Amino acid sequence: MDRIEQKVKELYDLAKIYPDDENLQIAVGTLKSIRRSRGSLQSWNSRYRSQISELNSSIEIQEEEKNRLQAELDQIKIEVQNSIVEKQKMIIERDKIKAELKNIQTEIELAAFKVKESRSWFGKFHILWTFVNSVFFDEPPDMGLIDTSPKSDPDKPQMDTKPSSIGRDSG
């Protein structure tokens, strides 16, 4: 680059020495025009490169924002899907409850019909008790367990039901 600059300087010097030489003056004018254009081009190129880097950083920011929004959208989709599943479960539960209420209504109507048909107070109360028991108690009441195989204890003998043991005092 230094060699070119030296040649340009020599051309300028020659143009100063020979101001009447039209070819030298045209060459110097062309050279000055090229240098101005080159300076403008370098300035434009510098601005262009800075704008490109600004655009690239803006694109990166937009990409990050897009990724963040996509992650948020994915999270919302999961929440919506969970809500849909939960709503479906609630609808199934609601339908079960409606069916149970329909069954209870049928049992009420049947019990009312039976109470009207029954002539005894015991029968009427028995029908009502059976209805209350079937509607409000899910399981039959626990009566406990009977131990059918007690352990033998010589100090406390079990009652024997053989005919030879009946009437005997064990102790």
Read off the pLDDT of residues 126-145 as tens digits, 9 standing for 90 and up.
888 888 887 777 666 666 67
pLDDT of the residue at 108: 87
Query: In one letter, which amino acid is 141?
Result: P
Cα dihedral 163→167→168→171 (10° resolution): 140
Query: HEC states along 77-106?
Result: HHHHHHHHHHHHHHHHHHHHHHHHHHHHHH
More confident residue, 147 or 32: 32
pLDDT of the residue at 144: 64
What contacts 27, CB < 8 A, 6 or more positions away?
11, 15
| Tokens of residue 70, six digits | 């996509």
Counting every residue written for the chain, the total comes to: 171
Return mean pLDDT, the chain: 84
Count CA atoms within 13 Å of residue 156 on its CB side.
2
Let me know if residue 166 belongs to a domain.
no
Let me know if residue 162 belongs to a domain.
no
Let me know if residue 54 belongs to a domain.
yes
Let me know if residue 88 belongs to a domain.
yes
Give me the domain span that covers residue 17: 8-136
15 and 26 Cβ atoms separated by less than 8 Å = no
**CA 59, CA 38: separation in Å to the nearest integer?**
30
pLDDT of the residue at 161: 62
Tell me the pLDDT band of 35, cut-offs 50, 70 and 90: confident
Let me know if residue 106 belongs to a domain.
yes
97-117 tens-digit pLDDT: 999 999 889 988 988 888 888
Report the pLDDT averaged over residues 50-62: 93
Contacts within 8 Å (CB) and 24+ apart, 36-42: none
Tell me the pLDDT band of 88, cut-offs 50, 70 and 90: very high
| Tokens of residue 32, six digits | 């000055």
Let me know if residue 132 belongs to a domain.
yes
Let me know if residue 152 belongs to a domain.
no
Let me know if residue 151 belongs to a domain.
no
Report the pLDDT averaged over residues 82-96: 96
24 and 14 Cβ atoms separated by less than 8 Å = yes
Q: How many domains does the chain have?
A: 1
